[in-house]
């Protein structure tokens, strides 16, 4: 409902009920807001249900088998999975994307020389697939808003390059951005980092690893915060049929931690000490309500002692950032990100 309709309803009811029925006045003011929120939640749920029903049958089983084979040394099937998720989104009018090197792509408005915030963005994919292309739709949307430039990163993938290879690539990108801030038309004080799923995990780990460098904010979408089966309510309830199955997540975890332990706090970031987490910058965490990672993400957000905004889309499922099919959740996530980049 447009803002002026809220105002009109408020003024009308205010004259009738100001003195005798103050509780009705409050109800009349806030009911449109609640109704709108419920409508958005319902729409997200419908879109998510349609998205799930349209996923190819056996897709996650195929992905799981490919990762298992790759762990055992045969990467052919996993390469095919990676290639199938490697399409670049069409750019918005006026946006250009420039490769700075083989693993970094800068999204910005053409011919804009303004000093802007910079978001370093790390794609999801369970540390095993996904690419600089799979997050291109989100990077384009942020850049098109004019609120920030986006530096998308291609990092090393497991199981061929397990922990800490991806993290090292991401910390190198953060260091690059600070060293080359002027070239990127930003300043070190305006650099944020974010990502979805495994990319959200890497964003936090990189910020922790590079504690000597200022990070303005963290923007996280349904991040992995525990690289093991956490046994939570959401893990058990949404472990099959909601966009990210528990057994596939287990293979992701195995591939990434093949030479380490999942209990390393730079892998399972929820296990970091409170005094370590206190060093993190203001954080936006956007969760999907029907997602196995929902509860571990909430636990992580609850442990952060700094400025934290956690937003949950109750009806949404995993993947709304990188895979088309949940447009309302995607649009709202972009809006929240722009607000965060403009505020912090």
pLDDT tens digits for range 116-143? 999 999 999 999 999 999 999 999 999 9
Question: pLDDT grade, residue 308 (50/70/90)?
Answer: very high
Label the pairing between strands 218-221 and 191-196: parallel
Question: Does one domain contain both 47 and 36?
Answer: yes
Question: Does one domain contain both 42 and 83?
Answer: no
Q: Any idea of the CA torsion for 86, 89, 94, 96, to the nearest 10 degrees?
A: 0
Question: Does one domain contain both 45 and 135?
Answer: no
- pLDDT (0 to 100) of residue 324: 96
302-305: long-range contacts at Cβ-Cβ below 8 A with a sequence spacing of 24 or more? Answer: 303/270, 303/274, 303/277, 304/277, 304/280, 305/274, 305/277, 305/278
Q: Is 23 a catalytic residue?
A: no
Q: Which of 169, 268, 318, 337 is catalytic?
A: 318
Domain interval for residue 295: 57-343
Q: What value does the mean pLDDT of the chain take? A: 91
Question: Does one domain contain both 159 and 21?
Answer: no
- pLDDT (0 to 100) of residue 35: 55
Of 35, 54, 73, the residue at which a domain comes to its end is 54
Of 10, 26, 54, the residue at which a domain comes to its end is 54
Whether the pLDDT of residue 72 is over 70: the answer is yes
Cβ count within 10 A of residue 340: 24
Distance of CA 289 to the CA centre of its chain: 14
- Give mean pLDDT, residues 72-91: 93
Q: Is 318 a catalytic residue?
A: yes
Total domains in the fold of the chain:
2
- pLDDT (0 to 100) of residue 274: 95
Kindly state the tokens that stand for 227: 């690289």
- Give mean pLDDT, residues 254-263: 98
Q: Which residues of 123-143 are buried (b: 16+ CB within 10 A; e: fewer)?
A: bbbbbbbbbbbbbbbbbbbbb
- pLDDT (0 to 100) of residue 301: 98
Question: Does one domain contain both 49 and 152?
Answer: no
Kindly state the tokens that stand for 292: 């196995």
- pLDDT (0 to 100) of residue 344: 83
Q: Are 148 and 94 in contact (CB under 8 A)?
A: no
Sign of the dihedral through C-alpha 283, 207, 188, 337: negative
Question: Does one domain contain both 81 and 35?
Answer: no
Question: Does one domain contain both 50 and 61?
Answer: no
- pLDDT (0 to 100) of residue 32: 55
Residue 194, beta-bridge partner list: 121, 219
Q: 189 to each of 37, 100, 275, 292, 322, how far by Cα in Å?
A: 34, 21, 22, 34, 28
Q: Are 127 and 256 in contact (CB under 8 A)?
A: yes
Question: Does one domain contain both 63 and 4?
Answer: no
The whole-model pTM stands at 0.89
Q: Is 140 a catalytic residue?
A: no
% of residues, the chain, pLDDT over 90: 86
Cis peptide preceding 159, ω within 30 of 0: yes
Q: Which residues of 256-267 are buried (b: 16+ CB within 10 A; e: fewer)?
A: bbeeeebebebb
Q: Are 66 and 80 in contact (CB under 8 A)?
A: yes
Question: Does one domain contain both 61 and 171?
Answer: yes
- Model confidence pLDDT, tens digit, residues 177-203: 999 999 999 999 999 999 999 999 999
Question: Does one domain contain both 17 and 123?
Answer: no
Q: Which of 197, 203, 270, 337 is catalytic?
A: 197
Residue 95, beta-bridge partner list: 109
Cβ count within 10 A of residue 164: 19
Question: Does one domain contain both 40 and 79?
Answer: no
Q: Which of 270, 291, 295, 337 is catalytic?
A: 291
- Model confidence pLDDT, tens digit, residues 30-51: 445 445 677 899 999 999 999 9
Question: pLDDT grade, residue 232 (50/70/90)?
Answer: very high
- pLDDT (0 to 100) of residue 13: 31
Q: Which helix (H) or strand (E) holds 119?
A: strand 118-122
Cα-trace Rg, the chain: 21
What's the rounded Cα separation, in Å, for the pair 151 and 94?
Answer: 17
Of 9, 24, 54, the residue at which a domain comes to its end is 54
Question: Does one domain contain both 106 and 219?
Answer: yes
């Amino acid at each position: 409902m447009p803002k002026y309709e809220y105002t009109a309803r408020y003024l009308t009811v205010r004259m009738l009920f100001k003195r005798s029925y103050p509780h009705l006045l409050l109800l009349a003011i806030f009911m449109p807001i609640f109704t709108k929120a419920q409508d958005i939640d319902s729409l997200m749920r419908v879109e998510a249900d349609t998205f799930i029903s349209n996923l190819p049958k056996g897709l996650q089983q195929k992905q799981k088998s490919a990762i298992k084979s790759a762990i055992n040394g045969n990467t052919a099937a996993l390469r095919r999975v990676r290639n199938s998720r490697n399409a670049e989104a069409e750019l918005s009018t006026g946006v250009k994307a420039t490769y700075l090197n083989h693993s970094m792509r800068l999204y910005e408005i053409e011919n804009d020389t303004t000093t802007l915030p910079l978001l370093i963005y790390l794609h999801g994919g369970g540390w095993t697939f996904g690419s600089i292309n799979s997050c291109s739709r989100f990077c384009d949307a942020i850049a098109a808003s004019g609120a920030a430039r986006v530096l998308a990163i291609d990092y090393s993938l497991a199981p061929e390059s397990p922990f800490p290879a991806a993290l090292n690539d991401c910390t190198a990108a953060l260091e690059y951005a600070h060293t080359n801030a002027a070239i990127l038309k930003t300043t070190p004080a305006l650099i944020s980092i974010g990502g979805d799923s495994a990319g959200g995990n890497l964003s936090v780990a990189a910020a922790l690893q590079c504690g000597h460098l200022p990070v303005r904010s963290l923007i996280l979408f349904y991040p992995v915060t525990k690289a093991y089966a956490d046994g939570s309510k959401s893990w058990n309830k949404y472990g099959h049929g909601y966009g990210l199955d528990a057994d596939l997540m287990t293979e992701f975890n195995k591939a990434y931690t093949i030479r380490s332990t999942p209990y390393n706090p730079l892998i399972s970031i929820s296990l970091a000490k409170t005094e370590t987490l206190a060093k993190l910058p203001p954080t936006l965490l956007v969760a999907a309500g029907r997602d196995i990672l929902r509860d571990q993400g909430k636990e992580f957000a609850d442990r952060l002692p700094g400025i934290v905004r956690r937003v949950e889309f109750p009806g949404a499922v995993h993947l709304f950032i990188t895979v088309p099919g949940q447009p309302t959740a995607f649009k709202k996530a972009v809006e929240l990100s722009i607000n965060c980049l403009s505020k912090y």
